[in-house]
Chains A and B, each alone.
Chain A
Amino acid sequence: MTNADKDPRPKYLNLLQIRLPVTGIVSIAHRLSGVLLVISIPAGIYLLQHSLGGPDEFSSLSGFFSSSAVRLVLLLIVMAVAYHLFAGIRFLLIDLGVGEHLPAARRGAWSVVGATAIAFLLALFVVI
């Protein structure tokens, strides 16, 4: 790290030209969805607090959730939860030695993508 400037090895970090395999995409997306979910924790606790704050606050939430902007954000968070869960289950299975080697790891990664697509269609039915 300290010798980074003197290091003669070539660097190739053009993110537009690096083609990540599906396993790599599933991995970095798991990380991104996790960060997004951490950021949305306060909103979740805030909503829980208001839902428990009394009958008036409870019923005002249904008005809040009828806004289409709110529903869109909710859809995004629900999809981040679903994706993070599916990709997380895959990582737990890999810990157990299931789907560890390349062909199975690729199938697992595609299964995560497929499961998320199905969850998205289901969520669309509920949210829209």
Chain B
Amino acid sequence: MNMQMTGLRAWLVQRVAAVYVGLFSLYLLIHFTTDAPGSYSEWRDWVGHPGIAVSWALFFIALLLHAWVGMRDVLLDYVHNTAVRLVALLGLALFLLAQGLWALTVLLGAGT
């Protein structure tokens, strides 16, 4: 996560990530309404399938990048004290990074 990520690039990352997250969510909705996994092994096999696991990993990466840009905008709009703002942005970055590592660990566990 790049603190220097400014203007156009952040805007583009936000939109591209939004489209991926939206499409993947739609895919999940369709998958769970038409072909919901009926048992633990079915569920784990589905998540552990290489193509699905990679799509899930990309989903979390896109989701967290999208969250970063969105929350960064919120903090920049409402937190004006420079020190508080920096601490808040740092806390946000660490939080999102931790979420990403956690999600990827869970997905790696399902793939083995």
Contact = CB atoms under 8 A, between A and B. Distances in A.
Given A35-B71, A88-B18, A52 B43 contact: yes
Interface size class of A (residues with CB under 8 A): 20 to 34
A31 interface: yes
Interface in A1-52: 1, 31, 34-35, 37-38, 41-42, 45, 48-49, 51-52
B22 interface: yes
A103 interface: no
Question: Is the contact region of chain A dominated by helix, strand, or loop, or is it mixed?
Answer: helix
Interface string A75-118: 00000010001001100100100000000000000000000000
Interface string A60-86: 000000000000000000000100010
Given A49-B106, A52-B110, A41 B67 contact: yes
B34 to A, nearest CB: 14
A45 B99 CA distance: 8
A58 interface: yes
Nearest to A34: B70
Nearest to B109: A52
B40 A41 contact: no
B13 interface: no
A41 B22 CA distance: 15
